[in-house]
Every structure is written in structure tokens, then in C-alpha cells.
């Protein structure tokens, strides 16, 4: 009996405890990393760091432009299609524009953009820094007295914090455009009426909520990606695990943080 | 110049360094030999403060490493060069940019002066004309030499080499050995971790053989070769049977979890 209990603990309980301990460790590490990166913000104002950050902004925008466009376009079309079918029965097709606009600006735009950037950029950051970790490049930076936070983490965090709102606005615009295609072609809503209704329905609070979310999501994705990259161990497998963990953790945090930001503005 | 006294270090519950005592004199080239997992690279990491001893004292350039604050540690590191096993070049920078990186990030030198110094160092290690290439476009031996150029660009007083000839063909190994000997002539203090016996006998003033986290033999090339210690003879002749055992228990050094290596400092 005691022997069976030992086997059970060894097989199921010990790995669970180990997982929980690792999760707590990486959460603590991530929070420390975020605070230390913020404390290093003054070092951003050098020509090299600004150039690094802008280069990253450019490559991040280019890297996520196409997929964001396609996903945003079809998300707007789906919102318009579903909303339109219900509103048509009530004779309220004119509300398609406001529904799509508010959804895209406040909720779907930031959320969808964050998921795309998590999958494409967050995992890339984790894999890039993870590879540098296992090939001793991070150690090389430390020995050269170049703090990895200033050299690697800060430009990535700044770039993602800037790129996420920009891509969110872009996604919202494309989504609203996609909605207009469906509203016009399937529910006979005129272009001008759609545009006027959509714009008039938007309040400052909607735009502010969407932008706040996108900034928080950008910081979250960058922090998680850098954290998982810096905690990488164990060769190529470790790099793969770091990329996978960065996606999973960022997804969870984006959804949870997104809910609480919406809740705080709606309540 | 470098002094390790009674240094103990455990990683992942296993003892790596077990009361290590070692001294490197100014201008000397000390080679550290030993089987995989005996603590050679861990010793180098203690010298540059990438790891701190659980117990014992590490003194470099007259200052105790384990007790240093971050700013003081950065100052000491700026006087040390480190050649990593695979060069550890940043793959998005050209060779010249990799070599010039410490000067661009640490010093307020003008760009023209940095470029001149980079060209000078690349010429010293026989890499002139390759500065514009990316790390992926050059051979393993050239990557190591580029790593050496980066380590040398700040005029270090101490140079640490981690497996400088591993994975290289005999000609590339000879080039690296030649560079280490040439540097010896400049008075720089060097510590070389290697498995390559030919290289060790070629470049060393003294050789230390590590086993189970301790120095079990120390002497010049001749003394080591003529040693009657069966452990020394087993290692230098690559004998399967002997006091060092047949198998190393584990390859511990690179993969052990250690919070100091997180990259935050």
C-alpha cells in the first residue's frame, strides 16, 4: 500500500508540484523583469536603442501585417453577417455599422490583434532569446558588461508596446471595412449610411478602452516572450518549449486581463 | 591575478566544485584539463562572476568577485575577455559589428576610432577582409577567431578560453593555438579550458587537472607528462581503465538549472 502510494506520488503529484513551482518561479521572474525593464527606460533615449526599437517596430509591423489584415477583414464580415441576420428580422439593419465598429474598436480588435501578435511575434521573441541563451550569447553580453535587459528586452518591449495599438487600429479599420462589404452586399445598407452610423456610434470611452487594452496586451506579450526566452534551458527542445509556453501564457493573460479591463470600464 | 580558495558549488543537487583551490599568476597561461562534468567551465564562470560560489573565495584582479556589487562586477568584467566554445556571436550582426559591440555599447569612442580598432584586431587574428560577413557565412574556426577578436578589443588583462579548439580541424586548432601563444607574448593572463592534449601541451605554462571538483594534479607540461599519478596518465593517454573511471556520471555543466544564469544581471 505504502509502495503504491509512493509510486502514485512519484508519477502524478511530484510532476504537478514541480510544474506549480516552475510556474511560480517564472511568474516571479516575469514580474521582476517587467519592473527592471521599466526602471531601465531612461536608457532607451540613446540613438542606438531608439534605432533598434524602430527597426523592430518596422519588422514587427511587416511580419504581422498580412495575417492581421486577413483575420480582421473576415472577423468584421462575420460580425456583420451574424448581427445582420438577427437585426434584419427586427428591421434594424442600420445597427450593423455601430455593432461592428464598437466590437472591433473596443473588444475584437485588441483581442484578435493580441492573439495574432502572440502567435507570430511573442513566440518568435521567446525562440530568438531562447536560442541566444542556449548558444551562450546572453552570457557573452553579460561578460561584455552589456545588460541584456537594456540591449534585448527593452527594445522588444518598446516595439511591441508601440506596434500593438497601431496594429489594433489597423485591424479595427479593416474589420469595419469588412463589415461594410457584408452590410452593403447582403443587407442593402448603403456605404455612406454604414460609415455615418458606425462613426457616430463610437464614443471616446470605446476608443480609449481599446487602446488601453492594446498597450497592456503589447507589454504582456513582450514580457512573457522575453521571460520564457531568458528561462530557456536544454537545447533545441528547450527553445521549442519556451516558444510554446510563451503562446499559452500570453493567451491566458490576454483573455484574463482583457476581461478585467472591460469590466472596469463597463461597471 | 586570479585566486580561487576552497570554492564549493552545487548545481541541481550535485556537487560540481568541491573545495577547489587554484591560482593563476600574472602573465601566465594556465590550462585546465578534466573530463566532462568535472567543473572546468563552472570554474571559468566563477572567475567572471556569472556564478557565485556556495562557499569559498574567488579573487580576480585583487578584488573578491562573490562580494561585488553589480557596478563593481561590470568594471571587473570590462577587464576580462572570454572566448566561448562556439564564439557566441550575435547572428544578426556582421563580424565587424560583433567585434566592435563592446566598444559601441560601453565606451564613448567615436565611430571612426571604433572601426579602426576593429580592423586592427581583425588583422591581429588574421580575419581581415571578413568583417562584412555574417557569422553564418564563415567557418567554425573563423567564428572562434571572431569571438577571440571581440574578447580582445577592449584590451583585457585576463583572457578566458572555453574549449578554444573543440570541433576544429587540426589546422584551425593550430591557428588558435598560435594565437594563444602570441597573446602569451603580450603579457596577458590566460586560462584555457580544453580536452585537447596537444593544444594543452603547446600553450600551457602550467596545467591543472580537475577531477570531482578539485585539482588533482598541477604542474608544467613536462611535469604533467612525466607524472607517475595513474589518474594523470589515464587522462593524458585516454585510457579506459583507471582511477578516473570509465564513464562520467552526467554531462552537467551546460544544462543544469541555475537561477544566476537567468540573464537578468
In a domain, B25, yes or no: yes
CA distance A58 to chain B (A): 16
3-state class (DSSP) for residue B175: helix
Name residue, grid cell 541541481: B12
Residues B68 and B129 in one domain: no
How many Cα atoms sit within 13 Å of B108 on the Cβ side?
1
The C-alpha R_g of chain B, in whole angstroms, comes to: 18
Which chain B residue lies closest to A146 (C-alpha atoms)?
A: B105
Q: Which residues of B touch A (CB under 8 A)?
A: 48, 50, 74-75, 77-78, 80, 82, 84-86, 88-90, 101-102, 104-106, 147, 150, 255, 257, 261-265
Angle between the N-to-C axes of helices A235-266 and A109-117, in degrees from 0 to 180, rounded to the nearest 10: 170
Q: Which residues of B touch A151 (CB under 8 A)?
A: 105
Asked whether residue B259 carries a pLDDT value surpassing 50, the answer given is no
Same domain, B64 and B128: no
Using one digit for the tens of pLDDT, what is the confidence trace for A98-130? Answer: 999 999 999 899 999 999 999 999 999 999 999
Does B23 share its domain with B72?
Answer: yes
* Of residues A143, A230, A233, nearest to B48 (C-beta): A143
CATH number at B21 reads 3.40.50.300
Cα–Cα distance for residue pair B60/B76, rounded to 1 Å: 8
**Residue with C-alpha cell 560583433?**
B98
Q: How many domains does chain B have?
A: 2
Confidence at B230, pLDDT banded by 50, 70, 90: confident
| Statement: residue B262 has pLDDT above 80 | no
Question: Tell me: the pLDDT tens digits for A53-71?
Answer: 999 999 999 989 999 999 9
Is a pLDDT exceeding 80 seen at residue B81? yes
The per-residue pLDDT for B251 is 46
- Chain A hits for B11, CB-CB cut-off 8 Å, are none
Tell me what pLDDT residue B146 has: 92
| Residue A123: half-sphere exposure toward Cβ, Cα within 13 Å | 17
Domain of B249 in residue numbering reads as 1-38+50-79+205-213+236-257
pLDDT recorded at residue B265: 53
Q: What is the distance between the alpha carbons of residues A160 and A218, in angstroms, rounded to a whole number?
A: 5
Length of chain B, please? Answer: 265
Model ipTM?
0.85
Are residues B105 and A231, on separate chains, in Cβ contact within 8 Å? no
CB A64 within 8 A of CB A117: yes
Please give the share of chain B, as a percent, with pLDDT higher than 90: 36
Strand ranges, E, within A79-135: none
Comparing B213 with A134, which gets the higher pLDDT? A134
Residue B141: inside a domain: yes
pLDDT band at B263 (very low <50, low <70, confident <90, very high): low
- Asked whether A97 and A183 are in contact (CB, 8 A), the reply is yes
Which of B132, B155, B178 is the last residue in one of the domains? B155
Same domain, yes or no: B56 and B101: no
Positions in chain A whose pLDDT score sits under 50: none
pLDDT higher than 70, residue B256: no
pLDDT for position A229: 95
Q: Is B119 a domain residue? A: yes
Does this model's pTM top 0.90? My answer is: no
Nearest to B17 by CA among B28, B30, B33, B4: B4
Would an 8 Å CB–CB cutoff place A148 in contact with chain B?
yes
On average, the pLDDT of chain B sits at: 85
- Is B94 a member of any domain? yes
Per the structure block, which three cell numbers stand in for A257? Answer: 486581463
Half-sphere exposure (Cβ direction) of B27: Cα atoms closer than 13 Å: 3
Residue of A nearest to B156 (CA): A144
Does residue B136 belong to any structural domain of this protein?
A: yes
Q: What is the pLDDT of residue A22?
A: 82
Look-up of cell digits 490576454: A254
Type and span of the H or E element at A160: helix A154-187
Identify whether residues B12 and B30 lie together within a single domain.
yes
Beta bridge partners of B30: B191, B206
End-to-end distance of chain A based on CA atoms, in angstroms?
54
CB B8 within 8 A of CB B17: yes
**Residue B88 scores a pLDDT above 50:** yes
| CA dist., res. B126 & res. A214, Å (int) | 50
Specify whether B147 is located in the same domain as B113.
Answer: yes
Residue of A nearest to B159 (CA): A143
Interface with chain B: mutation pick from A22, A51, A142, highest number of B CBs within 10 Å: A142
Domain assignment of residue B171, yes or no: no
Residues A152-187 as b or e (16 or more Cβ within 10 Å = b): bbbbbbbbbbbbbbebbbbbbbbbbbbbbebbbebb
Q: How would residue B28 be classed by pLDDT, with cut points 50, 70 and 90?
A: very high
- The answer to whether position B117 is within a domain reads yes
**Segment holding B150, helix H or strand E:** helix B140-152
What are the start-end ranges of the E strands in chain B?
A: 2-11, 14-24, 29-34, 55-60, 63-64, 80-83, 158-162, 189-193, 206-211, 214-219
At residue A102's C-alpha, the angle toward residues A101 and A107, to 5°, is: 115
Q: What is the 3-state secondary structure (H, E, C) of B26-90?
A: CCCEEEEEECCCCCHHHHHHHHCCCCCCCEEEEEECCEECCCCCHHHHHHHHCCEEEECCCCCCC
Q: What is the pLDDT of residue B72?
A: 79
Do residues B145 and B122 make contact, with C-beta atoms less than 8 angstroms apart? no
pLDDT score of B225 more than 80:
yes
Ramachandran area for residue B19 (φ above 0: left; ψ -120 to 50: alpha; else beta) = left
Give residue B254's pLDDT band: very low, low, confident or very high (50, 70, 90): very low
B69 & B119 share domain: no
Amino acid at each position: 500500500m505504502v509502495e503504491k502510494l509512493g509510486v502514485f506520488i512519484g508519477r502524478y503529484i511530484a510532476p504537478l508540484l514541480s510544474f506549480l513551482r516552475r510556474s511560480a518561479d517564472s511568474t516571479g521572474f516575469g514580474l521582476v523583469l517587467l519592473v527592471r525593464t521599466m526602471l531601465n527606460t531612461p536608457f532607451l533615449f540613446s540613438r542606438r536603442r531608439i534605432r533598434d526599437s524602430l527597426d523592430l517596430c518596422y519588422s514587427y509591423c511587416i511580419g504581422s501585417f498580412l495575417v492581421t489584415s486577413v483575420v480582421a477583414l473576415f472577423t468584421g464580415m462575420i460580425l456583420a453577417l451574424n448581427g445582420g441576420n438577427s437585426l434584419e428580422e427586427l428591421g434594424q439593419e442600420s445597427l450593423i455599422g455601430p455593432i461592428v465598429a464598437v466590437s472591433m474598436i473596443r473588444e475584437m480588435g485588441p483581442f484578435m490583434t493580441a492573439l495574432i501578435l502572440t502567435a507570430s511575434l511573442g513566440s518568435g521573441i521567446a525562440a530568438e532569446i531562447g536560442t541566444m541563451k542556449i548558444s551562450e550569447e546572453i552570457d557573452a553580453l553579460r561578460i561584455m558588461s552589456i545588460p541584456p535587459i537594456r540591449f534585448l528586452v527593452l527594445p522588444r518591449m518598446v516595439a511591441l508596446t508601440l506596434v500593438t495599438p497601431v496594429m489594433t487600429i489597423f485591424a479595427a479599420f479593416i474589420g469595419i471595412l469588412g463589415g461594410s462589404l457584408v452590410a452593403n452586399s447582403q443587407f442593402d445598407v448603403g456605404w455612406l449610411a454604414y460609415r455615418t452610423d458606425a462613426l457616430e456610434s463610437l464614443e471616446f470611452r470605446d476608443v480609449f478602452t481599446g487602446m488601453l487594452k492594446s498597450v497592456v496586451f503589447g507589454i504582456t506579450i513582450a514580457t512573457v516572450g522575453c521571460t520564457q526566452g531568458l528561462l530557456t534551458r536544454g537545447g533545441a527542445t528547450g527553445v521549442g518549449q519556451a516558444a510554446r509556453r510563451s503562446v499559452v501564457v500570453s493567451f491566458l493573460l490576454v483573455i484574463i486581463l482583457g476581461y478585467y479591463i472591460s469590466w472596469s470600464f463597463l461597471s | 591575478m586570479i585566486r580561487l580558495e576552497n570554492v564549493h558549488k552545487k548545481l541541481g543537487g550535485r556537487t560540481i566544485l568541491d573545495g577547489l583551490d587554484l591560482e593563476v599568476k600574472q602573465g601566465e597561461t594556465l590550462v585546465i584539463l578534466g573530463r566532462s562534468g568535472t567543473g572546468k567551465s563552472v570554474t571559468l564562470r566563477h572567475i567572471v562572476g556569472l556564478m557565485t560560489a556556495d562557499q569559498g573565495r574567488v579573487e580576480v584582479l585583487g578584488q573578491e568577485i562573490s562580494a561585488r556589487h553589480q557596478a563593481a562586477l561590470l568594471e571587473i568584467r570590462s577587464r576580462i575577455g572570454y572566448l566561448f566554445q562556439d564564439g557566441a556571436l550575435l547572428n544578426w550582426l556582421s563580424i565587424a559589428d560583433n567585434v566592435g559591440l563592446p566598444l559601441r555599447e560601453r565606451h564613448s569612442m567615436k565611430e571612426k576610432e571604433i572601426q579602426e580598432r576593429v580592423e586592427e584586431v581583425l588583422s591581429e587574428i588574421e580575419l581581415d577582409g571578413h568583417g562584412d560577413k555574417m557569422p553564418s557565412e564563415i567557418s567554425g574556426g573563423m567564428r572562434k577567431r571572431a569571438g577571440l577578436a571581440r574578447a580582445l578589443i577592449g584590451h583585457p588583462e585576463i583572457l578566458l578560453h572555453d574549449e578554444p579548439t573543440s570541433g576544429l580541424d587540426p589546422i584551425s586548432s593550430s591557428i588558435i593555438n598560435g594565437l594563444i601563444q602570441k597573446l602569451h607574448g603580450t603579457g596577458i593572463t590566460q586560462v584555457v579550458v580544453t580536452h585537447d592534449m596537444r593544444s594543452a601541451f603547446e600553450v600551457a605554462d602550467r596545467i591543472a587537472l580537475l577531477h570531482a571538483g578539485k585539482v588533482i594534479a598541477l604542474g608544467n607540461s613536462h611535469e604533467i607528462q612525466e607524472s607517475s599519478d595513474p589518474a594523470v596518465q589515464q587522462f593524458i593517454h585516454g585510457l579506459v581503465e583507471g582511477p578516473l573511471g570509465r564513464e562520467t556520471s552526467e554531462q552537467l555543466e551546460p544544462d543544469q538549472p541555475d537561477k544566476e544564469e537567468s540573464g537578468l544581471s
